[in-house]
Amino acid sequence: MHPVVRPRRLRQSPALRRLTAETRLHPAELILPLFVREGASEPRPLASMPGVAQHSLDSLKRAAVEAAEAGVGGVMLFGIPENRDAIGSAATDPDGILNVATRALAAEVGDALVVQTDLCLDEFTDHGHCGVLDAEGHVDNDATLLRYRDMALAQAEAGSQLLGLSGMMDGQVAAVRDALDAAGRTDVVIMAYSAKYASGFYGPFREAVDSQLSGDRRAYQQDPANRREGLREARLDLEEGADILMVKPALSYLDVLSDVAAFSDVPVWAYQVSGEYAMVEAAAANGWIDRERVIEETLIGVRRAGADAVLTYWATEVAGWLR
């Protein structure tokens, strides 16, 4: 007896495997996170993320142009100010580093890719939390929403085409959408970090933004043990007017990503975070894995789980491979 059904027929040559692939990568589905540091005269490499740097304004523009030329879909900007305070004043200052950098990139590459900005206070506060604190030192959800509204208007005015709401405050999408619409900025896209988990994979990011965090963010980011909660958060953001939903991190939460993608009628994105990047780079540097193969496999896995686009620090490099 010989098998009648032979799935291996479709795997026997590179041409057949390419023709029958169910999931593909395209440069336009990749988004490059970029860090810009106030006062920097040259890029500052990050020890925990080889190949990634805190940029000066000049090197930031060069990195964005390179991404645009590679066909990358967008860049997500994170600002690192020289001075921080309790309410993150630099976040709403028109001359603050994030808003200055946004204007620069909107002028440089705004026609070639989507200039996006992180809308959160953690980079700008002297305590490192994603919101303002009350008298007892807890994050005040509703007071934080007022700051987010002001940040949204400042970033939109600077030229951001898409706001990445990453703070995980209750009602943040509704608050920002209301502020934008009231100001006549119905054109600005809201991408909600809907299912953002309190993850250990964010470690290298702390270096990237020179985090001042004391304690943790478990009171507002999600418990890694909870799957249904991610769906609940995503549904709420959709009801409040989010244009795009986000799951973060990516690889440890592919089940949540798949759940959200199954019900969402708006695009769903995922963030391949700093710890995921750092682990692959470290293993590759030690000769333990095939770097390019593993990078591509991780991105295929995230796309296969349902992500329409992926934020990844490899965006420009991978886009070059694909082109």
The whole-number pLDDT of residue 210 equals 83
- Give the residue-averaged pLDDT of 299-307: 98
pLDDT of residue 323 exceeding 80, the answer is: yes
Give the residue extent of every domain in the chain. Answer: 25-322
- Rounded to two decimals, the pTM is 0.96
Q: What are the CA-CA distances from residue 60 to residues 33, 44, 101, 314 (Å)?
A: 11, 11, 8, 16
Of 103-117, 152-166, 198-212, 220-234, the range with the lowest mean pLDDT is: 198-212
pLDDT at 1: 77
Reported CATH class of domain 25-322: alpha beta
pLDDT at 211: 83
Q: How confident is the model at residue 137 (pLDDT cuts 50, 70, 90)?
A: very high
**pLDDT (0 to 100) of residue 261:** 98
Rg from Cα positions in the chain: 20
The pLDDT, as a whole number, for residue 164 is: 98
Give 55-100 pLDDT, tens digit per residue: 999 999 999 999 999 999 999 999 999 999 999 999 999 999 999 9
Q: Would the CA dihedral through 118, 84, 48, 139 be positive or negative?
A: negative
- What pLDDT digit, counting tens, does each position of 264-300 carry? 999 999 999 999 999 999 999 999 999 999 999 999 9
Confidence at residue 216, expressed as pLDDT on a 0 to 100 scale: 86
- Mean pLDDT, residues 28-39: 97
Burial of 69 (0-12, 13-18, 19+ CB in 10 A): middle
Q: Which of 163, 148, 151, 155 is nearest to 100 (CA)?
A: 155
Catalogue the active-site residues: 196, 248
Determine the residue type at 161: Q
Least confident segment among 23-27, 42-46, 145-149, 213-217: 213-217
Contact 91, 127 (CB under 8 A): no
What is the average pLDDT value for the chain, to the nearest integer? 96
Supply the pLDDT for residue 151.
98
Please say whether the beta carbons of 233 and 173 come within 8 A: no
